[in-house]
Structures are given as C-alpha cells and as structure tokens.
A and B are shown apart, each in its own frame.
Chain A
C-alpha cells in the first residue's frame, strides 16, 4: 500500500493491522515527542505517576529534582512495576519476583540472586550493574512533561519549530495545574481523530454550536500555522472580527441556526486572559498530542491508539494556581462546550466512527484532501486541508510512502 500523494489518502491506512504494527514499532517509538502529564503532579521528591504512550505503560518519577520516565516493565518477566496511578516510592520493586531498581532505573536487587544454601540462583555471568529499565528522553517544557523513546531526538522546541513553540508557551504562561480529567473512546483509527484536529474546514460546519454562537466561523479573522516538518499546526481565530457574515448566510449551512439561543449564555463567556483577542487555538503536535484553548477552556488531549479501529482521547483540563474566581468559573462553565459531553466537541466522537465504518469496504478508494490546494503551508485562510496534508507529509517521512 502506497501513499502517492498527501492529497489522496487510501482508506486502507485506517484498517490494515500491518500498518498499525509499523506505527507502534517505528513511528511512536521513533524520533517523536509524546505528552506524559503535568509537572505539578510531582510535587514532592519520589512522587510518581503512571501513564501510557500509544498503549505502552510508562512510569514518571521525580528523583533529586530530576524527572525521569521509564517503560513500566520489569526486565525480568515483563510485569508492571508501578500499579497505582500515583504514589511515592524510594525504589521500584516488582511484585512478581521482587526485583528492585533505583530511581535512575538501575537494577539493584534480585531476590535469591545467590540461591539458597548454594543451590539455585542466577548464573555468575549475570551482572546487575549492566541491567536497566528502558528509559525515555524527558523534557519539562513550561510545566508539561514530554518524552521520546529516541535518545538522539532534537530538543522539544527544535522538534516543533519556533511558531508552534510560541503557541504552546502562549497557553502555558504559568505552571499548569490539573482541574479534571476525563476520557473518551472513539471507534476509529487514531489517524482519523488526529486528522480531525487538523481539519479547520470541518469545525464550523459539523459543529453547529460553534457557528450558531459565532465562536468559530470561517469568516472570523484567524489562520493556520504549519511547521516545517508538516505534522504540527496551529489553527486560531479571534473573537468579534468577522470579515464576511453574508458568505455564511448565503451558504445556508445546517450549522447556522439563528433561531437557537441559550437561556443562560454564561458558558459562552470569553475572558481575554492572554490579551490577544484569540478565543480559539487548536494546536497539534505530531503525532499524538493536542493543546486546545476554546474560550477559557484549556486542555491537553492525549491520544492513545487502542488497536487499529479504536482510539482513546484523554482530556487533561488545566488552569493556573493564581486563576481569579471569575476565570475559574469560566473554565468550569465551559466544560459544557468541550470534552466527551461538550456541545462543540461531542460530534468529533461520532464522526470518526462514521468514517471508520466505511473504510473497511473502500476497495482501493482514497479520501480527498484538496481543499486549499496541494501544499502544506501556513495561510490566513482556514478553508483548507493543508494541515492534514502536512500530517501525511511527516507521516511518510517517518514510515516511507510505501507503508506495507
């Protein structure tokens, strides 16, 4: 199966298990950065939390001020080392056979290493000092912990490029604190979800709520920014700077329901906390991370592939320790807009499944990504699929055009 053009994507990429296997082995464990969680979860020395990268169990621990991440797997027989979601430990200790590791991942203890009364035990050539947990490269970027399986990966800011890095710092002016977490299981291949995040064209068409309340219309001033690698992007729009209302009304979109009004519009309130009038910023990081700002809802979406036809999205809503009561209330009210139950985002949970159900029987057909031309460049227009084409460009750079 070959991806001949970033504007024509064979539906087979969403259903072929051999492609999924290559993604798991080569893409996710290759030179890419993944979101792990917030630094604020590790308040004390020796705090840890467990998480996942594409289904691989990961443990993140703070030791002498340094944040380390390891595959949460004993090298002996592969059991999980840390079972709880969070906790505090002075060493890793495997429940299965009692092997222990220090917090740098170095093997320190093997139960009955010398056997009992000279019988049994490990062979002489087994040297504990040569044995380590599989460790990841970790970077704490403005209070958010990222990791990569590749020890040679460029630092995070170089990887995403200056424009995307600035977009992340914009929504991380201070250290983020978790306000709540939920998760959503979507019945589609992970790529359908991450394409959806890069699809600035659909947002105000599928999501009636956006358009009806002028939260995000394609006529609002804004744009998309795509990094040089192609796979990471920002789509943004500003409140109250509409350029052409008439275009929308002429289209008579189903999404534009002028007869619908909220009895209590508090959920729509926008406080310009970053001082730039930008009320919407969807920022994707290749391959599995999304940062969103929708009004004052701030969130990191952690995308976890769950097999070829399912993907879990974990929503990490955050705020800041010094949030005013007004800002905190805005963030709480806007939970009605975003997330698995959100007036805006709920539809993304459904539409991915609609594409997936058709992908198995596509018989060589391709999906078209020609809106806005053939490039994957930044533009002031959001009537484009350039950011999705950019995703496929970087995808092919990692896996080659001939995927299987």
Chain B
C-alpha cells in the first residue's frame, strides 16, 4: 500500500513549518482534538506513559506555542528536519504512518548539532478541508535532550 500524496505532503509541510518557525501553519496540520506526544523509545518500549510533551487537544498545542513565543526564555534557535520516506504500519484502526527523521538544531554563533533522531507515528483524518493529524507521537531514539526542548518537533 502506498502512502497517499496528501498525507506525505502533510508530514513534509508540518516539518517545513517548524523549520521556518511558522507555528500557525504547523498548528493548522492538527484537528481540534488532535493529540501530540513526545516520548523516548525506551519509555515507549517499557510501556511508561511519561515523556517530554503531552497534549490532548489543539488548545494545548496553542498554549505551547504561546508559551514559547512570549513567556519562556531561551537562546533563539531553529531546526532543520530531514525526513525519510513515510511507510505504513498496521491496518484498519491500528494503521499508522511512520516517518523516520533527523533534526538538526541551528543556534546563531554556535555549531549546528544533530539534536535528535527518531520517528513520527501518525494517525490522520480526512475532512472537506483536507487531511490533518488526529494523533501524532514523536518517538526519540535517545533519552538525552541537549540543553532544552522548547519548540515542538
């Protein structure tokens, strides 16, 4: 089964929006009740529920964007997502779109670092206005975050 173009495009444009710090566009990729979680492969394998970010709807994602845009203090930086080809895992209600990624972090006057690698585990929904994430889990390969994780992945 091949990945529909609209879904591949959603995944690509979501990464591109974050890289461009265009959070409004990034938010538009989620349904109103879309969930977003960041965890680690270790936690997921052990069935441990806690990770790094945990949003149960789009309002909580809007809160994340508002907080990192106007409340939190950190050195300005941006990401560069490198995505691998999306593939389909499972079927029916279990169907997920899996996209491996590497994210570099660019901080002015510092060397660019390989920040995290991992995979997106996505579920989506079609509507008249297009396709959106209903459930996006970001699973990081490694436990360690360099300095901090403010901007979503």
CB closest chain-A residue, reference B152: A341
Q: Mark B20-52, 1 if CB is under 8 A from A, else 0.
A: 000000000000000000111011000011111
**Chain B residue with Cβ nearest A259:** B70
Segment from A92-100, A107-115, A231-239, A343-351 that makes contact with B: A343-351
B49 and A332: CB pair below 8 A?
yes
CB 8 Å contact bits of B48-76 with A (1 = contact, 0 = none): 11111111110110111011001111110
Bound-state CA distance A25–B124 (Å) is: 54
CA distance A181 to B143 in the complex (A): 8
Which residue in A178, A183, A263, A347 is a CB contact (below 8 Å) of B74?
A347
In the assembly, what is the distance between CA of A157 and CA of B71, in Å?
Answer: 40
Q: Does B8 contact A (CB under 8 A)?
A: no
Instruction: Kindly identify which residue among A212, A328, A341, A350 contacts B52, using a CB–CB cutoff of 8 Å.
Output: A341
Binary flags per residue of A205-240, CB closer than 8 Å to B gives 1, else 0: 010110010000000000000000000000000000
With contacts A336-B64, A346-B150 taken as known, whether A183 is within 8 angstroms of B49 at the C-beta atoms is: no
Interface bits B130-153 vs A (CB < 8 Å: 1, else 0): 000000000000011111111000
Beta-carbon contact of B54 and A346 below 8 Å: no
Contacts across chains A and B counted by CB atoms under 8 Å: 119
Tell me the chain B residues, 98-153 only, with Cβ under 8 Å from chain A: 143-150
Bound-complex Cα distance A212 to B75 (A): 21
* Cα separation A350 to B105 with both chains bound (whole Å): 15
Contact B48 A179 (CB under 8 A): yes
Q: How far is the CB of B91 from chain A (nearest CB, A)?
A: 28
Interface size class for chain B? 35 or more
- What per-residue 1/0 map shows which CB atoms of A241-254 lie under 8 Å from chain B? 00000000000000
**CB atoms of A341 and B73 under 8 A apart:** no
Query: Nearest-CB distance from B65 to chain A (Å)?
Result: 10
In the complex, whether A185 has a CB less than 8 A from a CB of chain B is yes
Q: Is the CB of A343 within 8 A of B143?
A: no
**B residues in contact with A264, CB < 8 Å:** 56-57, 59-60, 63
- Chain A residues near B145 (CB-CB < 8 A): 182-185, 340-341
Given A182-B40, A185-B145, A187-B147, CB of A336 within 8 Å of CB of B73: no
Chain B hits for A105, CB < 8 A: none
Query: A307 interface residue, CB < 8 Å from B?
Result: no
Interface of B with A (CB < 8 Å)?
38-40, 42-43, 48-57, 59-60, 62-64, 66-67, 70-75, 143-150
Listed in ascending order, the chain A residues whose CB lies under 8 Å from chain B are 85, 178-187, 206, 208-209, 212, 257, 260, 262-264, 266-267, 312, 314, 317, 328, 331-333, 335-336, 339-341, 343, 346-347, 349-351, 353
Closest 3 CB pairs of A and B: A180-B50, A341-B149, A349-B148
